[in-house]
Structure 1
Amino acid sequence: MMAAAARVSSGGQAPIATLRAPEQVLRLARMGSFHQTRLSFMRVLLRHLARRNWQIERSLWEIDAKGAGVAVYEARGDGWVYSLIAFGHELDPEKRTDRVIAEEWDATFVLHDGVATRADIERLARNVPRQEAGRCSAAELVMSRANRSVRLFDHVVSELAQGRQPAAADLDAVGYLMRTTAVYGNGKFGLADRDRIAERPVLSGPFAAEMLTVWLIRAFTTDLVEHLATVRSPDTAVRLDRDLRRRLGVGNSTGLGMAPFVVNHPGLFHRWINARETALSRVLTLEHAGAAQVAVFRDRLARAWRQMAAWRVDDALQMARIAELVRDLDRLAAEVETIDFELPFVWRRLCAFAEAQLGLEAQELLVTLLLEPHGALVDDLSAAMGGDETPDFVIDGTATLADLRTGIEATYGFALAEDFTVPRAQARFWYVSEEKLEPRLGERALEEGAERELPLTVARDVAALHRLLTGVPSDLTIAEFLAAHPECRHAVRRVQLSARCHYAEVRDNLTGAELRPIDILRCKLSFFGATDFDPRSDRWVRVALFRHAPFPDELHDIASDDWAIPPLGRATRSAAAKAPSTGDITPSSPAEPEGYSLNEIEAEARKAARGTGLSWGLAEDVGRIARLLAHTRQLAMLADALDELKSGRHATGLISDRSGIRATEDRPLSPLVLASAIADRSAEIAEDTLTISAKVAEPRLLVPMLTSVAERLRRPLRLQLDGHEVVVGRDIAPALAALAEPRTVDTILISALPRGLDQASPPKTGGVTIPDELWRRFTALAALTYVPASEHSRLAGAGAGLSDND
């Protein structure tokens, strides 16, 4: 289990530990066997809330006898307030569906940044129930929706109304009263960009705002059934028993829309896996197992056996894996009874036993069990699981093709071993559906649209890049190579990133006929902390979130992190409920204007650039340019440049060599293509002047990329355009103002100034107002990347053609 991969220090005087090899950890079959751990995001969240004494209060309850109305839950701590605004809806049962075409739900939610005013609630009431069709503002962090469980919700209301508690077996058979079908964050539909909250306590971790939202939704669902039971029969209704209530989580149905995330965010994914593997290595480095830790491990093993034995799904393949897991846990328990825990490195011995004797499900569950007793040793790693992804876009243009070849052969052996001339190796293609603007998986031989596929073809593209390097001088720089082969930019970027981030790349072919997308889904959901994985096909899954976790009113009364593997027994505790307020809500700061988030702008510009025919690597850079331009009110010139590219009036061909950069055509050179070529030579700019000899259109569009180069070099840049000099620092506004007149230039010189970089301007997030006509120009180009849904895709993809009502 401890195949060599990398050597890292676990801190202090601890010995050097060896991490498991990426080739072992990041195969899809193993990723599809991951379980939640102490580092899962919802567990990290609750630990923080409890440790920092956060207080949660239901500040508003205006829900009628049919469950329609509004409720507000306020979470307060660390000097911040976050408000979950829950809208209940009276939904015709005929319209209750979890298909992606649904437009109405039993409940919709938004997490508001601050105390929600009446004006906020009224504004959000006009938008949140419409979900994708509405708009939020940068004052909102997360938006979600949920439907009631057909099997359980009304049953629990009926039982409570009659003065009875529902049977535990009935609760366990479903696991939730409501199931979310979307939990949106990070700039979707006008929500705040993650940059707004990235440095805040409690929300700094990955998906922390989303996890807080789901936890508060869970409180709403139980409050709702108790309210409806009381309305139905005020004389006999009882509240849900606390221990029974804890058995309920929030359901979630998720499909292919989630799958590309781990591929599209390779640096972030590396940090998740690296934290998990580092935690394991720290435990395995322990020479002696403490008596208290051994006792906790034995207890969690017994709990896990019971939890896994109760795991039931309809999927035959997963049910067979569960049966094997339970048998393996029996074997593990027998080994634990015979092993001498006084032996040195006993945790390593257990891992060696698991690797030799047990299946993947049990091996990965053992990782969870080994971390459970060692919170003091591993919990700090959660702080390293987020981070800025901007450096992940940097390409080292000074590296040689020899370096590139070495990087490919060191990391991508799995890709080089694949024969992509065989149809099965490219049987699938990922695309964005025109119907719902979400990722889908197509069959290359059966469906149209493969020419518009998403860049999840990493294995194929890197293998093609490796072949292309044959016969090319090995001392050629990457900057020179990419100028001639911009279609390779995306692959080169990934190869260089993977050299720095060993766990960035899934070590499997994501377009092959044997692909099971559900393995990617389960991996990501395990980091959320999801349990009760219930595959509905190989493309979508039901899970439960926060099952057995403390509720807000008991967060400080029971252990905040002793629930994910539920205890074998817990005493029932009674507590009086605080009467909710139905009065006015304390006002907060003025509402922020609605607009487009930076993430929305970046994503739409990236797709628009791809729609013009630019390669994915160049399109990624255009997205970053759009993000930096967003607050300057000059996005129109980016739209113009994209239109010029689409029409063929701007050229894309250039040569980048030791003499500088020059065009290969008479037409004006696109500044969007030139910007990437300049970025590749940032290290050279630090030492000398870079000369661009070409007729370049709209040089103002070079400024956003130059600010990134300046940031990287920590020095301002001197930009000379036909003799006119401009200084570019962190803030793009002065340079844009100095280049106010749009024009075409013939010569550009770029060099770094010797002085230090100016102070950073305050970060700007979200709420960018863009005229409708201008936005339509981007969306029209982006639409060229979408693929019309076929009947085959509707039936096969992400549950879109199946009912998920339960």
Structure 2
Amino acid sequence: MVYRKTADKEERARHGSMQLPDYLDTVLSTFADAPGREAVFRWLRRPEDCMTALSLSTMKATRLSFAPLLARRIIQERWRITRVRFHCDSEGEGHGVYRIDAGGHVLTYIARCFRWDGIEKAGRRSDGASRDMFGAIFLGVPDEARIAREFATFDLRDVDSMRTNSDVTGWTPASRSARFFDHVVDSLAAGRQPDPGILGSGTGYLLRNGGYLGSGRQGSLSFEGIPEDHPFHHPFFADLFGLFLIRQVSIDLVNGIAAARSPHAVKLAPEIARYIGVGNSSGQGMCVALQRWPEWVSTWLTVRELALAYAKSQPANADPARAERLSRLLARASAYYASIELQCEDYVVPTDVLATNLEVLRSWVAQAAHSQAPWGELAERAAAAFDMETVEQLNSLLIETYPEFADALAPYIPLGARRNRDLVADMRVGALKALLRTRYDWALTYDMRPSKTRQHFWYHSIDNGEQRRGERIIDPHEEFESFIDHIGLIQRLSCVLASYEDDAPVAEVVADVPELAYGVARVQYLSGLPYAEIRDNLLHRDFLPAHLIRFFLGVLGIECTSPLSIRYVRGVFFQGMPLPEEIALGASEDWIFPMQPQATPLEGAVA
């Protein structure tokens, strides 16, 4: 895969008319004078250059992704995660209770761990398989009777029959990674540290996320019920903090099992514990979510692309410390990719290739640091020479090189995600036609006549509890199709509007063809938003769901996305993040791309 070269300077100048949301425009004006603003707009990428499924799939996590945003808040506010009690037997059967002091808010986390049943559970629901661990996050401090009731609920181990109360923000089911989990326990019980190389071959996790259950599911507190001043009022923070707590449970669990098995056991060394993350495997339902909430996509991409354009617009020789930071980040990323071993599909660039390319880029940074040219020219040189994965990793690190600007944009993310989706009934048909012409020309000219363009459909499977993709004519359930065909929707809307006078209200159209109400509202509420629609046909025979899954996971902040197939993607969260005891004392925020630890076989404290 070769990255399409950015438009020439004249095209970039024409692109400078892109309208930013007021909040982001104000931030930009704070950091850049008039010429600086013009330079930023010249480096903003066009939607057609970065919004195809393939382009989106190569985007890497940045400091604007949700997990790094949460991590910085945890570290800056020095959240205290205190283990009130944790006990398990030699097989991992046990209970844990934790208190969290989170920036003036108190939370309680409980964990119920079960003996492993010998079944590897890789997916979110895993066809009904019982999870190896269940956790619950409480707002406040529940009494012992309430905790006991929740533990009794977990003992059912059947999500469909389990219920909680609104004092719980969500459940955190998880499952063991059998090979790595057993290796760590066996090593600790034998009085030695596990082999970091073995952990690195699996991107370093012991427990795998089983799918956060919150936002009203199973009786949990809805998102609207979370107080506005609470950290969990930020999108995805409750889900991701649940993953961070799974990480801590995984560390306590292997220590506890090893201690129960042997009086000579040692605890996991801090440098290895810090290297541990949380595994994750996500499926094709993410594609449906992205289509259902295009304003989220627009918000995420607008913030990301603006941060990237700002970094690209800066002269490379303006600040030697910036160039040195970028060089260090490239070195760390290269070493990280070189140290991990991932099963790789043929449409994903292997990690060893990424590692080599990033080392070459380091030498280019050293050259660019003596030039007045902006960093964008380095990015264009990379785009002409390397694959899209390498270029997007460079883009991610360019954003990291100017953290103060990216951090100033971050508060817009929860604001931009809230969008009034109501239909504006008194809009004139002529105005709606104009929106279609100016913003959806790419969809209107797409040829949907060949059968391959509609070969697939999505539906929500009751059996699996998730979205599944079927093939028309061959698979059943087509009558339960989930919305994913934004191109077809726009084309149908355009055809219907052609039969109405321009001065007619859109209310008349909706009254005549009510099934188009959503299409009308979608075009209206996305009006003016940059990067609002994915420029691909998700029904097409050749569409790979893994492309958009990788994008969504990158937005969440996952590292090392490795597709297991065209439908499932795995990766790891929070690998390298400081441990709770380090956070309480004041830890560094600079933890991405952790180096594989070099612990000796006998390192570790007696458990």
TM over 0.5: yes
Q: Partners of 1:430 and 1:517 in 2: how far apart?
A: 11
Q: Which residue of 2 aligns with 1:86?
A: 111
Matches within 5 A, 1:363-374: 363-374=391-402
Q: Partners of 1:100 and 1:79 in 2: how far apart?
A: 38
Aligned residues: 575
Q: Which residue of 1 aligns with 2:247?
A: 218
Q: 1:45-73 deviations in whole A, cap 9, x for unaligned?
A: 12111212221101122323322221012
345 and 75 in structure 1: CA distance in 2 versus 1, 3 angstrom threshold: farther
Q: Which residue of 2 aligns with 1:404?
A: 432
Q: Which residue of 2 aligns with 1:478?
A: 506
87 and 571 in structure 1: CA distance in 2 versus 1, 3 angstrom threshold: closer
Match of 2:128 among 99, 102, 105: 102
Q: 1:18-52 deviations in whole A, cap 9, x for unaligned?
A: 23222222110011111111111111112111212
After TM superposition, give the deviation of residue 243 of structure 1 in Å: 1.1
565 and 294 in structure 1: CA distance in 2 versus 1, 3 angstrom threshold: same
Secondary structure class of the residue paired with 2:84 = strand
- State whether structure 2 residue 216 is matched by structure 1 residue 187: yes
Q: Partners of 2:119 and 2:474 in 1: how far apart?
A: 33
Greater CA drift, 11-20 or 361-370: 11-20
Match of 1:20 among 24, 40, 45: 45
Q: Partners of 1:94 and 1:362 in 2: how far apart?
A: 37
- State whether structure 2 residue 522 is matched by structure 1 residue 494: yes
- Aligned-residue identity in percent: 29
Q: Partners of 1:320 and 1:50 in 2: how far apart?
A: 33
Paired AA for residue 148 in structure 2: E
- State whether structure 2 residue 548 is matched by structure 1 residue 530: no
After TM superposition, give the deviation of residue 319 of structure 1 in Å: 5.0
After TM superposition, give the deviation of residue 388 of structure 1 in Å: 7.6
508 and 187 in structure 1: CA distance in 2 versus 1, 3 angstrom threshold: same
Contact kept in structure 2, 1:418 and 1:425, CA below 8 Å: no
Greater CA drift, 224-233 or 273-282: 273-282
Match of 1:350 among 374, 378, 385: 378
180 and 115 in structure 1: CA distance in 2 versus 1, 3 angstrom threshold: same
Q: Which residue of 1 aligns with 2:3?
A: none
Paired AA for residue 216 in structure 1: L
Q: Which residue of 2 aligns with 1:237?
A: 265
Paired AA for residue 72 in structure 2: R
Q: 1:754-803 deviations in whole A, cap 9, x for unaligned?
A: xxxxxxxxxxxxxxxxxxxxxxxxxxxxxxxxxxxxxxxxxxxxxxxxxx
Q: 1:330-350 deviations in whole A, cap 9, x for unaligned?
A: 4423422332x2433521221
414 and 63 in structure 1: CA distance in 2 versus 1, 3 angstrom threshold: same
Matches within 5 A, 1:289-438: 289-318=318-347, 320=349, 322=351, 324-339=353-368, 341-387=369-415, 391-438=419-466
- State whether structure 2 residue 29 is matched by structure 1 residue 11: yes
Secondary structure class of the residue paired with 2:131 = coil
22 and 321 in structure 1: CA distance in 2 versus 1, 3 angstrom threshold: farther
Matches within 5 A, 1:535-550: 535-550=563-578
After TM superposition, give the deviation of residue 257 of structure 1 in Å: 2.8
349 and 176 in structure 1: CA distance in 2 versus 1, 3 angstrom threshold: same
Q: Which residue of 1 aligns with 2:467?
A: 439
Q: 1:296-315 deviations in whole A, cap 9, x for unaligned?
A: 10000111112223343323
Matches within 5 A, 1:65-214: 65-94=90-119, 98=123, 100-128=126-154, 129-174=157-202, 175-197=204-226, 199-214=228-243
Q: Partners of 1:94 and 1:437 in 2: how far apart?
A: 19
Q: Partners of 1:561 and 1:311 in 2: how far apart?
A: 23
Q: Partners of 1:194 and 1:214 in 2: how far apart?
A: 18
Paired AA for residue 313 in structure 1: L
Paired AA for residue 258 in structure 2: A
Q: Partners of 1:342 and 1:383 in 2: how far apart?
A: 34
- The normalised TM-score by structure 1 is 0.68
- State whether structure 2 residue 578 is matched by structure 1 residue 553: no
Contact kept in structure 1, 2:286 and 2:549, CA below 8 Å: yes
Secondary structure class of the residue paired with 1:57 = strand
Q: Partners of 1:222 and 1:367 in 2: how far apart?
A: 33
Q: 1:186-232 deviations in whole A, cap 9, x for unaligned?
A: 22221111122362343232201111111111011011101111111
Give the structure with higher Rg (CA).
1
Greater CA drift, 76-85 or 405-414: 405-414
Secondary structure class of the residue paired with 1:87 = strand
Paired AA for residue 169 in structure 1: G
Q: Which residue of 1 aligns with 2:594?
A: 566
407 and 310 in structure 1: CA distance in 2 versus 1, 3 angstrom threshold: farther
Contact kept in structure 1, 2:268 and 2:604, CA below 8 Å: no
Paired AA for residue 104 in structure 2: G
Q: Partners of 1:511 and 1:255 in 2: how far apart?
A: 16
Q: 1:453-509 deviations in whole A, cap 9, x for unaligned?
A: 111111111112112222321221111211111111111122112213222211111
Matches within 5 A, 1:637-656: none
570 and 544 in structure 1: CA distance in 2 versus 1, 3 angstrom threshold: same
Q: 1:656-677 deviations in whole A, cap 9, x for unaligned?
A: xxxxxxxxxxxxxxxxxxxxxx
Contact kept in structure 2, 1:34 and 1:365, CA below 8 Å: yes
Paired AA for residue 429 in structure 2: L
Greater CA drift, 533-542 or 188-197: 188-197
Secondary structure class of the residue paired with 2:333 = helix
Q: Which residue of 2 aligns with 1:64?
A: 89
Contact kept in structure 2, 1:202 and 1:208, CA below 8 Å: yes
Secondary structure class of the residue paired with 2:530 = coil
Paired AA for residue 282 in structure 2: T
CA RMSD in angstroms, aligned pairs only: 2.5
Q: Partners of 2:227 and 2:314 in 1: how far apart?
A: 34
Q: Which residue of 1 aligns with 2:70?
A: 45
Greater CA drift, 239-248 or 412-421: 412-421
Secondary structure class of the residue paired with 2:457 = strand
The unaligned stretches of length 5 or more in structure 2 are 1-5
The unaligned stretches of length 5 or more in structure 1 are 580-806
Q: Partners of 2:215 and 2:539 in 1: how far apart?
A: 28
Q: Which residue of 1 aligns with 2:544?
A: 516
Q: Partners of 2:541 and 2:390 in 1: how far apart?
A: 26
After TM superposition, give the deviation of residue 321 of structure 1 in Å: 5.1
Q: Partners of 2:86 and 2:243 in 1: how far apart?
A: 18
After TM superposition, give the deviation of residue 559 of structure 1 in Å: 4.2
Q: Partners of 1:479 and 1:576 in 2: how far apart?
A: 72
Paired AA for residue 290 in structure 1: D
Paired AA for residue 305 in structure 1: S
Contact kept in structure 1, 2:120 and 2:176, CA below 8 Å: no
Contact kept in structure 1, 2:87 and 2:94, CA below 8 Å: yes
Greater CA drift, 12-21 or 139-148: 12-21
- State whether structure 2 residue 276 is matched by structure 1 residue 258: no
After TM superposition, give the deviation of residue 392 of structure 1 in Å: 3.1
After TM superposition, give the deviation of residue 329 of structure 1 in Å: 2.5
Greater CA drift, 503-512 or 309-318: 309-318
Q: Partners of 2:399 and 2:206 in 1: how far apart?
A: 30
After TM superposition, give the deviation of residue 448 of structure 1 in Å: 2.3
After TM superposition, give the deviation of residue 268 of structure 1 in Å: 2.2
Secondary structure class of the residue paired with 1:225 = helix
Q: Partners of 1:461 and 1:414 in 2: how far apart?
A: 13
Secondary structure class of the residue paired with 2:414 = coil
Q: Which residue of 2 aligns with 1:457?
A: 485
Q: 1:155-211 deviations in whole A, cap 9, x for unaligned?
A: 111111111111110111122111122112222221111122362343232201111
Paired AA for residue 29 in structure 2: G
